[in-house]
Amino acid sequence: MRSGFVRLAAAALLGVLAPAWALTPEQARGIASGDGDERIEALNHAVAAGAEGLAPFVQALLDDAVKVAGEQVFVLQGDKAVDAATGAPATLPAEAEDVVVNNRVRGALQAALASLQLLSPELALRRAAVAELLEQSLDEAQLPLLDKALAAESDAALKESLERMRATILVASPDKAKRLAAIAALAGSRQSAVASLLQERLAPNSPDAETDAEVRAALGSALDAVRSRLAWGERIGVIFTGISLGSILLLAALGLAITYGLMGVINMAHGELLMIGAYATYLVQNLFRQFLPGAFDAYIVAAIPAAFLASALVGAAMERSVIRWLYGRPLETLLATWGISLVLMQGVRSLFGAQNVPVENPAWLSGGIAVMSNLTLPWNRIAIIAFAALVLAAVALLIARTRLGLFVRGVTQNRRMASCVGVDTARVDTYAFALGSGIAGLGGCALSQIGNVGPDLGQSYIVDSFLVVVLGGVGQLAGTVYAALGLGVLNKLLEGWAGAVLAKIMVLVFIVIFIQKRPQGIFAMKGRSAEA
């Protein structure tokens, strides 16, 4: 992609830096022949001098389309040749030799082409040039061109990047005053690369280490200032990751909030319903890849209802065949659903194999938003947070505003009275269990976009899902939301402080203590029999 930008830039610069061929013979020969250091020095001088025609010549060198014969340099254009200095048609001598461009010279050529690109009238090309130069080693020979580009630049973000590049060059200047001025400019940066640069200048074992005491003090102050700004990116990243984890826990726990919270069924196979939703997404992906490759990026839209229906049907089958006979017997329900979970895992292993299967993100869920230099928010996790919010709103609306929700709440609160007024309680139980299972399938669909899909997928979330439901308050959707997001953020904060294993232990200890003090959870069930 970047090489495409560079080629496009070279073509654009042909019109910007007219006339197209105006290199001196000495410049062309110096860049094309000699050892690597001499060629790079000649190239930097040509860039600093603003030599017209340099961009197409550099591009020709990168394309291996330059030959040398004695003192003359030729550029190949198809089956013809032109003089590199004048651009006039020329006859290529038989003894002409190819110009060898090693990796070091190639890197210098790419940097030079990007530098020239800074003068392009196209904003996209200038951005590509800045991105290219930020990855290159810069020196003072490029300062004149940077100053020229800085004076002409109108985009605020690019101007800031150019100023940072200029300061990065000057921080290694032999002039102490220039070094101090560059450090003062870098102190206002928000880039992690600047922190690394300043740290390298302070490192005692570094070949570029600063020796002047005053400059070292300025480096230390600048480094502290940059790190204090970067710390905010790290904090925001931890909070975002925690919210993302909380959204995943919410999707996994919403189904349990119905099957366990409202129906009182301890479903140890709930994690496997997540797994079924993930495998349904995998199958839909493969169908799109085989039969609708042009619409592959839309497969996730079809996978959402497929994951819901697959898990809902399995859940309905579980309820009608096993669980309906075990209501009110929690231990037997736990053991039965644990056995079902083993059957489901082995069934998936038999159908798809024991290895993880690949689920690819659509193009529009790939990449992320670069908020800061050390903070990128991935699109797939942003989408999961939004998806969890939509699923939560749909479930709350269904439970509170629909006929099915009314029946579920009525059967949950007083099964005998609901039966007396004509409610088919057995059918409501099946619908409610299928709904909770289908929501778990939606969670599996979301999980397939951020992690591996395998037979053991659900085992990673079943315990955390029960903890979320119990902590939030049995039967309370609002409590499930608070508990899921709270546990997600708390877990990530503790991970950064104590590590992943200790963080899990500390979260579990916190939940045990909390439940001892408040057994009903964050939100208690309201009613005459509810405990205060």
pLDDT of 11 reads 43
In the predicted model, what is the mean pLDDT of residues 59-65? Answer: 85
376 - beta bridge partners?
370
More confident: 384 or 55: 384
Contact between 33 and 99 under an 8 Å Cβ cutoff? The reply is: yes
Contact between 322 and 343 under an 8 Å Cβ cutoff? The reply is: no
- What are 14's two structure tokens? 């042909």
Amino acid residing at 283: L
pLDDT of 306 reads 95
Class of domain 234-517: mainly alpha
Contact between 120 and 126 under an 8 Å Cβ cutoff? The reply is: yes
More confident: 174 or 53: 174
Kindly report, residue by residue over 76-127, the tens digit of the pLDDT.
Answer: 887 788 887 777 888 888 788 888 888 888 878 877 777 777 777 777 877 8
CA dist., res. 303 & res. 281, Å (int): 5
3-state secondary structure of 523: coil
Whole-number Cα distances in Å, 20 to 6, 14, 91, 323, 334: 17, 5, 20, 81, 79
- Is residue 191 scored above 80 in pLDDT? no
For 471, residues 6+ apart whose C-beta sits below 8 A from its C-beta are 479, 483, 486, 487, 511, 514, 515, 521, 522
pLDDT of 455 reads 92
For 493, residues 6+ apart whose C-beta sits below 8 A from its C-beta are 238, 242
- Is residue 527 scored above 70 in pLDDT? no
Verify cis geometry, omega within 30 degrees of 0, for the bond prior to 293: no
pLDDT of 203 reads 82
What is the phi/psi pair of residue 489, to 5°? Answer: -65, -45
- What are 69's two structure tokens? 């014969």
- Is residue 52 scored above 60 in pLDDT? yes
pLDDT of 279 reads 95
In the predicted model, what is the mean pLDDT of residues 222-247? Answer: 87
Task: Assign 62 a pLDDT band (cuts: 50, 70, 90).
Answer: confident
Using the 8-state DSSP alphabet, how is residue 453 labeled?
A: B
Contact between 198 and 219 under an 8 Å Cβ cutoff? The reply is: yes
Contact between 129 and 12 under an 8 Å Cβ cutoff? The reply is: no
- Is residue 272 scored above 70 in pLDDT? yes
Of 70, 60, 64, 62, give the one whose Cα is nearest residue 29.
70
- Is residue 214 scored above 70 in pLDDT? yes
CA dist., res. 154 & res. 48, Å (int): 21
pLDDT of 90 reads 84
Of 455, 315, 449, 460, give the one whose Cα is nearest residue 388.
449
pLDDT of 509 reads 86
Q: Outline where 448-476 has alpha helix (H).
A: 462-472
Task: Assign 427 a pLDDT band (cuts: 50, 70, 90).
Answer: confident
**184-187 LR contacts (CB < 8 Å, sep 24+):** 184/218, 184/222, 186/222, 186/226, 187/221, 187/222, 187/225, 187/226
CA dist., res. 303 & res. 26, Å (int): 64
- Is residue 142 scored above 50 in pLDDT? yes
For 250, residues 6+ apart whose C-beta sits below 8 A from its C-beta are 388, 392, 468, 480, 481, 484, 485
Q: Where are the domains of the chain?
A: 2-142, 234-517
Of 108-112, 261-265, 483-487, give the lowest mean pLDDT range. Answer: 261-265
Q: What is the DSSP string of 480-495?
A: HHHHHHHHHHHHHHHH
